[in-house]
Amino acid sequence: MTTTDDEWGLATRAVRTGHHRSAEGEHSEPIYTTSSFVFGSAAEAAARFAGDEAGNIYSRFTNPTVRIFEQRLAALEGGEACVATASGMAAILALCMGLMQAGDHLVSSRSVFGTTSVLFTKYLPRMGMAADFVPLTDLAAWERAIRPETRLLFLETPSNPLTEVADIRALAELAHDHGCLLAVDNCFCTPALQRPLELGADLVVHSATKFLDGQGRCVGGAVVGDAQRVGEEVFGVLRTAGPSMSPFNAWVFLKGLETLALRMRAHSDNALALARWLQRQPAVEQVFHPGLEEHPQYRLAQRQQSAGGGILSFRVKGGQPAAWRLIDATRLLSITANLGDTKSTITHPATTTHGRLSEEEKAASGIAPGLIRIAVGLEEVKDIQADLAPTLARL
Ligand SMILES: *Cc1c(COP(=O)(O)O)cnc(C)c1O
């Protein structure tokens, strides 16, 4: 699981890293659909189980197709080790179980994926761990929330759906000053646009379900970091608890990674073009995308990400009725909460992804009734505009 091919650029790693062709000479990576592996002798079996000899044992924790995916993603993120998991949520659970124990505490951004906050508030306490939540961009609030037993700071940047950008370098310094680790969910940018480990973060988690796949086909996840914490501690959870990625899904994600750099550039270009167009529509009050000069963390985003990413949101005049009218009138965009697909998706956060929040919480975190999120896909921008324009003109 150690990174090789150090001199290669990102796109080359995305296409090549991790595949050591078998004796069959296959060009595309093989899918090893086998639960277990055969040993040459009793002594070899004993040596593998004891860890004295490298090699496959059982696909809960050693599968060659999954290993190619792990090596490739580790190489893209610039990490020593990667552990692939059955889903993004399994990655976050494995991270917490691997690096924390009863009595430990974590500080999380308030603007994280909804199920992540459920995991932190409902299920971590069952293991004796606790979590507190702070506004993503308020560095002083992060510092105030850190306690002697705090082990981990956890965030997503840009945030969903308002695309707020956190200063990864500053938060990594804060974490290290207090003896904590910084974990970044890099789902929205992917390593094609942002590499948190290079900015000082200790760990990266992914929902591979989103842009890494890129075509909405499979559910999967990963944790990336150093050889000790990820290669030993998180791997130990995978081996023992078994939230493993299937070899078939690993192969689909490998095919996704091969086009990642191209796709992320195209998603970002499309989203920025659509954001600028939305800014010119009279029915639109405000547009949120890190590539817009008006974005509050524009300079930070320019420094930290190589492009703005594929997610934007905007607020229409007329609140929820107007937002729903626009969503219901689309013929091209899919009404779904998923994101990171070639197909553009449109969502009303206040009544779906953020529906569990109280009215006060929604107001405090900017989830206005008129807010709409679009995860911009790879259709032509003019077709997305043509889909939205007639209804926008009548709001
Ligand atoms: C989807 C998502 C997750 C959870 O991933 P699953 O693969 O659905 O389990 C975690 N974080 C972010 C930012 C996500 O968008």
Q: Where are the domains of the chain?
A: 5-258, 260-394
Per-residue pLDDT tens for 221-258?
A: 999 999 999 999 999 999 999 999 999 999 999 999 99
CA 197 – CA 13 distance, rounded (Å): 17
- Our answer on whether the CB atom of 85 is closer than 6 Å to any ligand 1 atom is no
- Our answer on whether the CB atom of 341 is closer than 6 Å to any ligand 1 atom is no
> What b/e string do you get for 130-155 counting C-beta neighbours within 10 Å, with b at 16 or more?
bbbbbbbbebebbeebbeeebbbbbb
What is the rounded average pLDDT of the residues 304-333? Answer: 98
206 CA from centroid of ligand 1 (Å): 7
88 CA from centroid of ligand 1 (Å): 5
**Which ligand 1 atom sits closest to the C-alpha of 92?**
10
Residue nearest to atom 1 of ligand 1 (CA): 207
pLDDT value at 323 more than 80: yes
N-to-C CA span, the chain: 54
Residue nearest to atom 4 of ligand 1 (CA): 88
SS (H, E, C) 177-235: HCCCEEEEECCCCHHHHCCHHHHCCCEEEEECCCCCCCCCCCCCEEEEECCCHHHHHHH
323 token code pair: 């937002």
At the fourth CATH level, the homologous superfamily of domain 260-394 is Aspartate Aminotransferase, domain 1 (3.90.1150.10)
pLDDT of residue 228: 98
10 CA from centroid of ligand 1 (Å): 23
- Choose the residue to mutate in 93, 109, 111, 115 for probing ligand 1, maximizing ligand atoms within 8 Å of C-beta: 115
Per-residue pLDDT tens for 275-298?
A: 999 999 999 999 999 999 999 999
Indicate the Cα dihedral angle 352, 353, 355, 360, nearest 10°: -140
In angstroms, the Cα distances linking 236 to 6, 124, 243, 249, 296 are 27, 18, 11, 21, 41
Q: How confident is the model at residue 338 (pLDDT cuts 50, 70, 90)?
A: confident
pLDDT value at 1 more than 80: no
pLDDT of residue 246: 97
Q: Cis link prior to 135 (omega < 30° from 0)?
A: no
pLDDT of residue 357: 85
| Nearest CA-CA partner of 384 in 295, 269, 260, 286 | 269
Do 106 and 120 form a contact (C-beta atoms < 8 A)? yes
In angstroms, the Cα distances linking 1 to 4, 23, 227, 253 are 9, 21, 8, 17
pLDDT of residue 363: 87
**Which ligand 1 atom sits closest to the C-alpha of 219?**
7
DSSP string, 232-292: IIIHHHHHHH--PPPHHHHHHHHHHHHTHHHHHHHHHHHHHHHHHHHHT-TTEEEEE-TTS
- Residues 220, 225, 228, 233, CA torsion sign: negative
DSSP helix/strand/coil, 355: coil
pLDDT of residue 365: 82
Q: How confident is the model at residue 64 (pLDDT cuts 50, 70, 90)?
A: very high
Q: What is the CATH number of domain 5-258?
A: 3.40.640.10
Q: For residue 335, what is the enclosing H or E element?
A: strand 334-335
27 CA from centroid of ligand 1 (Å): 31
User: Rounded to two decimals, what is the model's pTM?
Assistant: 0.96
pLDDT of residue 137: 97
Residue nearest to atom 6 of ligand 1 (CA): 88
- Our answer on whether the CB atom of 185 is closer than 6 Å to any ligand 1 atom is yes
Per-residue pLDDT tens for 66-118?
A: 999 999 999 999 999 999 999 999 999 999 999 999 999 999 999 999 899 99
- Our answer on whether the CB atom of 373 is closer than 6 Å to any ligand 1 atom is no
What is the rounded average pLDDT of the residues 38-58? Answer: 95
Of residues 4 and 289, more confidently modeled: 289
Phi-psi category of residue 214: left, alpha or beta, with phi > 0 → left and psi -120 to 50 → alpha? left
- Our answer on whether the CB atom of 116 is closer than 6 Å to any ligand 1 atom is yes
**HSE-up (13 A, CA, CB side) for residue 28:** 10
Helix count and strand count (H, E) for the chain: 15, 12
